Amino acid sequence: MADWIFQASAREHDLDAMIAASPERWWGTPRYRDRMTVGDRVWMQVTGPHHPGIYYVATIVSATYEHPVQPGEPAYARWRTDIRVDYRIRPPLLRSELLDDATLGSFRPFHGFQGSNVPVPPDIAAALSERAARRLVTLPVG
């Protein structure tokens, strides 16, 4: 099993509303799509100026597939991976907390990154799991 960060811009997505509508959804995965596999864990990171951090944990439930981009959809939507959001992290792992941690603070994507998805090294995944363990709230199955 591998770990990934999938990024959601607060300016483009109301992640809470999207997940409340359905915990099963596709995510644009233009990068590293050949390395993602069913069962991999996804840490969903909200970016932007207001309370950036890790808010949800999901599982990849399909291989990445190519989908014709529809008018009005961003180019990154061409490559998609289906995910199921399993947990909300409450309270979220905010960027300030992540950067204050000796291990997690060394991971550049927590400093802010431009991109839609990035692999998480095993030591960072273990530190995230440990920090999030007592904060996981199971979401109802759609």
**Across residues 121-140, what is the average pLDDT?**
96
Q: How confident is residue 139, by pLDDT bands cut at 50, 70 and 90?
A: very high
In CATH, the architecture of 3-138 is: Roll (3.10)
pTM score, two decimals?
0.92
User: For the segment 105-116, what is each residue's pLDDT rounded down to a tens digit?
Assistant: 999 989 876 667
User: For the segment 13-69, what is each residue's pLDDT rounded down to a tens digit?
Assistant: 688 888 889 999 999 898 898 999 999 999 999 888 889 999 999 999 999 999 988
- 39 in Cβ contact with 1 (< 8 Å): yes
- 90 in Cβ contact with 49 (< 8 Å): no
User: For the segment 75-109, what is each residue's pLDDT rounded down to a tens digit?
Assistant: 777 899 999 999 999 999 999 999 999 999 999 98
In the chain the first and final C-alpha atoms are separated, in Å, by 24
- 7 in Cβ contact with 47 (< 8 Å): yes
Q: According to the model, what pLDDT value does residue 113 have?
A: 63
